[in-house]
Structure 1
Amino acid sequence: MTQHRQKTRKRGFRLLKWIKSLSLLAVLGIIAMIAGLVYLYATSLPLADSDRNSRLLDSQGEVIATFSAGGKDSVPVQLQDISPDLVNATLAVEDRKFYDHYGFDIQGVGRAVLVNLQHMEMSQGASTLTQQLARNLYLSHEKTWTRKAKEAMYTAQLEMKYSKDEILQMYLNEIYYGHGAYGIEAASRMYFGKSAKQLDLAESAMLAGIPKGPTYYSPYNHMKNAKDRQKIVLAAMVDIGKITKAEADKAYEEMLSFKPESERKTVESAPYFRDYIRSLAVKELGISEAMLDHGGLNIYTTLDLRVQKAAEDAVAKGMDPSSELETALVSIDPRTGYIKAMVGGKNYRNNQINHVLATTRQPGSAFKPIMYLAALESKELTSASIFNSEPTLFHYDNDRKTYKPGNFGDKYLGEIDLRQAIAASDNIYAVNTIMQIGPEQVVDMAKSLGITSNLSAVPSLALGTSPVSPLEMASAFSVIAAGGQRMPPVAILQVTDAAGRVIYEAPQTKAENVVEPAAAYVLTRLMESVFENGGTGNRVATTIKRPVAGKTGTTNTDAWMVGFTPELSTAVWVGYDQGKAISTSDGRRAAPMFAQFTEQALASVPPKIFPVPDHVVSVYIDPESGKLAGNGCEEKRLEVFIDGTEPTETCSGKTNDTDSKKNEGSHEVQNQEGMQEEKHSWWRDFKRWWVE
């Protein structure tokens, strides 16, 4: 009996010991759990993947775009700015118990764990909306136990740190809806052309079904799959009592009006410029792709969003979205070299080729000013130089080769001077010029202006037969606009890391004098005639209400308009990627886009005349002979010359001291212009009023 009692007592002690041990473990477990929860609450969440994306900023510090491997388009909105139907549809199909759980669906997790253990792999998941958000923000989508553990930790932290409405708002702004659209606002704009607040029940159910399979359930890719998924979403909303069966049936039968794919645009601004900056950052600054996508860099650029919008508006108005015809527009500030606007094509989603950088396009007659600048600076040609515009066979390479150019439409003007040749884009005059100064001198001038493409030193170079890029042309013309001073094109001003430390600063570059200022000014004045009566750009003269100089260019496959004001040097190109011939109407698109862009971009800038440098003189000449206009001359025209190159002989064959008097300096030159008696275009009359 005593033995039995002793055994019972021992068993009681052991049981008590076990109870104490288990109680201690339970207490320790509770303490550990509390400590863990406190730790999770006190510990900051990692930087979200979207926050780690580097940002592209314009010259005013405004965000242009973000760098991300997926090319995210996102427009964050508040929860109250999202249709309640969309919110209810999303909760019904993704997480019905969202407002009741603490981030985890215990029953769903249990089922998934049993299935995963049975197959000994991560084959199933039971993600709540909060878990999906944690995965999208901080993790990859790989199915591993490590990733699931991290996901659980981040899910708990999200539930601790944010309210349910805040989590739902983050989710709806983060989730992917296909075709590059992240977040419900971007998706709503892309699919339906409206804000998320305006979505009706049918549209909401359609969009809420897409995230499960953005490609498979995209109405653009598979309309049947999208409608089947919409039906499931509507049925789920009926199940939770948010809508009636009749409302679901009506919504399913509704004919949805999707935004045409041809009209879909990227949400981000300046996508071609973004890609250009990415290339520069990687190739020239040595910044890795991974750092761009996940380093949280701030890249400050020269782009001006207001000017960029003017460029995008001009392209949108000037191009036919249904045509395969492509375009490019790039604009540079001649005073700094800063790239202010860049549009590399008419629709980035359909064609990511940045035509601004394409070096396979012949500039045609748009190249002629570069040649004329070489001739003017060498003083082998002046504003009064006369050549006969007639069919001509040119001999070169020691007379072993011949070249016979022709004028457009076989129209020949007879004896003309340089101003007339530039205005009418006469090819015979151009080839006469290059034959006189030599193609090598033209190549040298082009290189000094910043053209890096290979140029063939042959007579046809005068007609722009060597391909160059629009960026090169805008840069070259910016030197003329700046009075002969060259500032290389600049796009990136500064790069800072995630901590705000400067890791790159654009070097302070001084303008390089590469062309005699007087030669640049004389050419500028001659190029203004392109927009006057008889000029190839005259049809857009009424659009441009400020001093502007430029040159058109047309080949069988390309059309150009390159020109400048004192503030902007702009190149516009139009053509086909396949290199097929352009029509007459195609070739007429470049100039109107240039004109609209220039006026819109400079709408807040008062018109400015081109400043007159030293060593420029202005005299009246006889246009027919190129000599000074004497008293007996029937016509006279005020023309500008580099000092020392103006004619000294009058049209009567005698020197006229009064008529040949030089007028140096801007004030005297402009007053001479004001006294001109010949009939001018409205713009020259305006300039005369302006300077007086």
Structure 2
Amino acid sequence: MARSSKPSSRSSRSASTASSKPRWRRRLVLALQICLGLGAVAFIALATTVYLTMAQLPSYDQLKSSPNGQMIRVHAADGTVIVSLGPSYGDWLSYDRIPQVMRDAMVSVEDRRFRSHPGIDPIGLARAVELGIVNRGKGKRQQGASTITQQVARTIFLSNRVNWGRKAREAIIALALERKFSKDQILELYLNKVYFGGGAYGVDAASRKFFGHGADHLSLAEAAVIAGLVKAPSVYSPTADAEAAIGRAGVVIGLMRETGAITPEEAASANPKAVTLAPEPKQNSVRYFTDWALPQLEMLIDEPNRPLEVWTTLDLGMQRAADTAVRANAPNGAQGALVAIDRDGAVRAMVGGTDYVSSNYNRATTAVRQPGSSFKLFVYLAALEAGHKPDDSIVDEPVTIDGWSPRNDSRRNSGAVSLRTAFAFSLNTVAAKLGQEVGFATVADMAKRFGITTPVNTHPSMVLGTSDVRLIDMTRAFASVGNKGVAVTPYGITKVTAGGETIYSQTVDTSHVLVAPYVAAQMTDLLQTAVATGTGKAAQIGRPVAGKTGTTTSTKDGWFLGFSSGLTTGVWMGRDDAKPIPGLHGGTAPARAFHDFMAVAVAKRPVEQFDTKVTLPDWQVEPDEESYFGGPDNGVFVDPDGNPAGDGGVPQASDRGQRVDPDGNPIGDGTVAPDETPRPKPEKLDQSWIDRMTGRDSNPPSAGRPVTPRDRPGAAPTPLPDRNQPRANP
């Protein structure tokens, strides 16, 4: 019995072993079956998702037209494109128009297995995962594995945000694209859509930006430079870092040789260093205008996607003349600004500084500075509206208002004078008396009525221009006077189109009357006299001109604003740090810049006469210093807030004509140097000379018409003193 038990034991162990092996196998088979089942389900789900995505994909033509961002092209008044902003698109190049070297360069550097994979590259993906594991914790950037097809999917349908969800969607769209379109179509989409930096989308835009010609004429070296940009457009841009761009192009050529796209001989002959880059466009003064006008689109239209064509008021001929006039006349170390506004408010020229590249700060529309005596426009407008006439008599005498005692620049008072004379010779005491009579708040309201958008103080000294203003606002005010009292609102955009559809068109409102026409005509009368015989003589252009100068404390700012033939121009000059500029006065550099610009700007416009003729002021009055030499206005007797400075009326050394250094500090004891001769008194003028200078005289004296000066009947007119004559301090 005992023997018989042993075989039974072995049999039991054998049966147990035999039963355990099928169980292990069953488990393995079950696991494989589950994996295969899950794989099949995943494959079916993926296939279903891909085909559903493929069914939802736009047509090829729709993909070609889908924008990468909003492009804005800005046109001058004559239709010339003056600037393009936002994405830049070249011509769409079909596959057969894209050079073979460009296609091969892009495939070699971005996706060498493009022709063989189904939209995603398993080999590239595995290599990227491997490198990611090897470089983990070393601070190295993980290498991407996106195929060209995936980049097309991301460019058109997705964002650049990196996460697993976006990568999964990118892969599905790529697989769908491969099912719906051919490899050639996908490569065509890619080469016309991918971003190459500098706002350029597509190879044609990149070629035009960097080489100045279309992409259908790219050489091997040029194609290598462009292909190398995709990895990091800002790093390898040839205009930003030529050395880096050349090095990257060399890498591309090496890859092309490695993949067999080019022969070793072709690779050796390609020389990226010999590539000629297109010159960068110069940032000229046109950008001051576009920087001012384009932000207004947000209020004018609601179109965030479609490319826009913006048509503006800018006259390129006037803009060139304005740029030249400012640069030629701005004193050394000073800035200058100019705005020219047509009678309907169209801004024809705008210069915000002497050089946009070195400073894009727009001094025509943003800077605020004291306007000096040019602010007297509002004082006299208020007085005329209150019932005064240009020929009304007013006494030029010492006056004290709330402790402030303004003085004329000549340091003299002339007794009874007309308003015309007071304005032509910029008599400060008369302006103060008029301001007190009509009310300083009334003057401030008049300034606001005419478009001054900055705060205006109501201190008595405000009549001399102690409140900060903008050049474009002051120019607008003078334009409204020239427009017979009807409000002029500056605008720069006339029309906006998107896809050939006009989505905005400018309309001009002429219904807002600021002052009665007769008040505007009387003000024009005064402004004519200021140019013909007063402070603005340098602004004469041989046709009727009305305008006013302005000069501020210690010659920190110089202004001239005026109009002729329907065009109003304002000029400002000064330093950004508001330091004094020796010799800067409204009647010198700014008036000369006005002259230089207007002589060109209105040359082809008909001569327009004003409603009132130029009338001579009272010649028994001794003209003050500013009348002939553009001296500073009496703003020097107040602090920047308009409060009386010092004793409220004692002129400072520099205001009495004392010589000053570049910072405005007195030199020596302020006396006239021995070799400086006293300034001669100006000769008198007559009405006939005024008529000839303003284009009214059709029968000059040589033709037999008698000359009848008001002060010396029967005598011939005497010439003006040379405004360039050396000046001695009185």
Same fold by TM-score, threshold 0.5 exceeded? yes
Contact 2:424 2:535 in 1 (8 A): yes
Give, as a single letter, the amino acid of the residue that structure 2 aligns with 1:396.
Answer: I
Contact 2:398 2:413 in 1 (8 A): no
Give, as a single letter, the amino acid of the residue that structure 2 aligns with 1:624.
Answer: W
Give the secondary structure class of the aligned counterpart of 1:550.
strand
User: Which residue does the alignment assign to 2:512?
Assistant: 512
**Which of these residues, 394, 398, 401, is aligned with residue 396 of structure 1?**
401
The alpha carbon displacement at 1:403 in A equals 3.3
Using the alignment, how far apart are the partners of 1:509 and 1:47 within structure 2? 39
User: Which residue does the alignment assign to 2:480?
Assistant: 479
Alignment of 1:273 onto 2:276: no
Structure 1 pair 237–402 and aligned structure 2 pair: CA distance change class (3 A): farther
Alignment of 1:406 onto 2:409: yes
Contact 2:529 2:615 in 1 (8 A): no
Give the secondary structure class of the aligned counterpart of 1:140.
coil
Contact 1:424 1:535 in 2 (8 A): yes
Give, as a single letter, the amino acid of the residue that structure 1 aligns with 2:90.
Answer: P
Give, as a single letter, the amino acid of the residue that structure 2 aligns with 1:112.
Answer: A
User: Which residue does the alignment assign to 2:314?
Assistant: 307
Comparing 528-537 with 138-147, greater Cα deviation is found at 528-537
Q: Mark the runs of 5 or more structure 2 residues left unpaired by the alignment.
A: 1-35, 622-685, 701-730
Using the alignment, how far apart are the partners of 2:391 and 2:450 within structure 1? 21
Structure 1 pair 471–269 and aligned structure 2 pair: CA distance change class (3 A): closer
Give the secondary structure class of the aligned counterpart of 2:548.
strand
What does 1:260-409 align with in structure 2 at a 5 Å threshold? 263-264=282-283, 270-274=289-293, 276-277=295-296, 281=299, 295-296=304-305, 305-307=312-314, 309-310=316-317, 312-314=319-321, 316-318=323-325, 326-335=335-344, 337=345, 344=352, 351-358=359-366, 360-383=368-391, 385=393, 394-397=399-402, 400-404=403-407, 406=409
User: Which residue does the alignment assign to 2:197?
Assistant: 177
The alpha carbon displacement at 1:453 in A equals 1.9
Using the alignment, how far apart are the partners of 2:99 and 2:393 within structure 1? 71
Give, as a single letter, the amino acid of the residue that structure 1 aligns with 2:515.
Answer: V
The alpha carbon displacement at 1:520 in A equals 0.6
Structure 1 pair 539–530 and aligned structure 2 pair: CA distance change class (3 A): same
**Which of these residues, 107, 111, 117, is aligned with residue 127 of structure 2?**
111
Contact 1:272 1:344 in 2 (8 A): no
Query: Number of residues paired by the alignment?
Result: 591
Give, as a single letter, the amino acid of the residue that structure 2 aligns with 1:460.
Answer: S
Give the secondary structure class of the aligned counterpart of 2:560.
strand
RMSD over aligned Cα, in angstroms? 5.9
What does 1:127-206 align with in structure 2 at a 5 Å threshold? 127-129=146-148, 131-152=150-171, 164=184, 168=188, 171=191, 175-178=195-198
Give, as a single letter, the amino acid of the residue that structure 1 aligns with 2:231.
Answer: K
Give the secondary structure class of the aligned counterpart of 1:276.
helix
The alpha carbon displacement at 1:361 in A equals 1.3
Residue-by-residue CA offset, 1:28-83 (whole Å, 9 max, x unaligned): 987876565344255965995645678989999999888xxxx6252534549999
Contact 2:550 2:560 in 1 (8 A): yes
**Which of these residues, 205, 209, 231, is aligned with residue 212 of structure 1?**
231
The alpha carbon displacement at 1:466 in A equals 1.0
Give, as a single letter, the amino acid of the residue that structure 1 aligns with 2:324.
Answer: K
Contact 1:209 1:230 in 2 (8 A): yes
The alpha carbon displacement at 1:147 in A equals 2.0
Comparing 33-42 with 516-525, greater Cα deviation is found at 33-42
Using the alignment, how far apart are the partners of 1:25 and 1:449 within structure 2? 74
Contact 2:321 2:597 in 1 (8 A): yes
Contact 1:116 1:124 in 2 (8 A): yes
User: Which residue does the alignment assign to 2:538?
Assistant: 538
Structure 1 pair 109–678 and aligned structure 2 pair: CA distance change class (3 A): same
Contact 2:158 2:166 in 1 (8 A): yes
User: Which residue does the alignment assign to 1:624?
Assistant: 619
Give, as a single letter, the amino acid of the residue that structure 2 aligns with 1:402.
Answer: S
Give the secondary structure class of the aligned counterpart of 2:271.
helix
Give the secondary structure class of the aligned counterpart of 2:57.
helix
Give the secondary structure class of the aligned counterpart of 2:405.
strand
Give, as a single letter, the amino acid of the residue that structure 1 aligns with 2:372.
Answer: G
User: Which residue does the alignment assign to 1:639?
Assistant: none
Contact 1:345 1:353 in 2 (8 A): yes
Structure 1 pair 250–561 and aligned structure 2 pair: CA distance change class (3 A): farther
Alignment of 1:553 onto 2:573: no
User: Which residue does the alignment assign to 2:90?
Assistant: 76
Using the alignment, how far apart are the partners of 1:440 and 1:520 within structure 2? 20
Contact 1:45 1:154 in 2 (8 A): no
Contact 1:329 1:342 in 2 (8 A): yes
Structure 1 pair 526–501 and aligned structure 2 pair: CA distance change class (3 A): closer
Q: If the length of structure 2 is used for normalisation, what is the TM-score?
A: 0.61
Give the secondary structure class of the aligned counterpart of 2:314.
helix
**Over alpha carbons, which structure has the higher Rg?**
2
Contact 1:344 1:355 in 2 (8 A): yes
Contact 2:614 2:690 in 1 (8 A): no
Using the alignment, how far apart are the partners of 1:268 and 1:385 within structure 2? 49
Comparing 518-527 with 579-588, greater Cα deviation is found at 579-588
Structure 1 pair 376–61 and aligned structure 2 pair: CA distance change class (3 A): same
The alpha carbon displacement at 1:455 in A equals 1.7
The alpha carbon displacement at 1:480 in A equals 0.6
Contact 2:308 2:499 in 1 (8 A): no
The alpha carbon displacement at 1:446 in A equals 1.0
Alignment of 1:251 onto 2:267: no
The alpha carbon displacement at 1:440 in A equals 3.4
Identity of aligned residues (%): 30
Give, as a single letter, the amino acid of the residue that structure 2 aligns with 1:395.
Answer: T
Q: If the length of structure 1 is used for normalisation, what is the TM-score?
A: 0.64
Structure 1 pair 519–217 and aligned structure 2 pair: CA distance change class (3 A): same
The alpha carbon displacement at 1:126 in A equals 2.7
User: Which residue does the alignment assign to 2:450?
Assistant: 449
The alpha carbon displacement at 1:327 in A equals 4.7
Structure 1 pair 53–114 and aligned structure 2 pair: CA distance change class (3 A): farther
Contact 2:533 2:616 in 1 (8 A): no
Residue-by-residue CA offset, 1:497-551 (whole Å, 9 max, x unaligned): 999898x999995623321211211222432455547653635626xxx654333
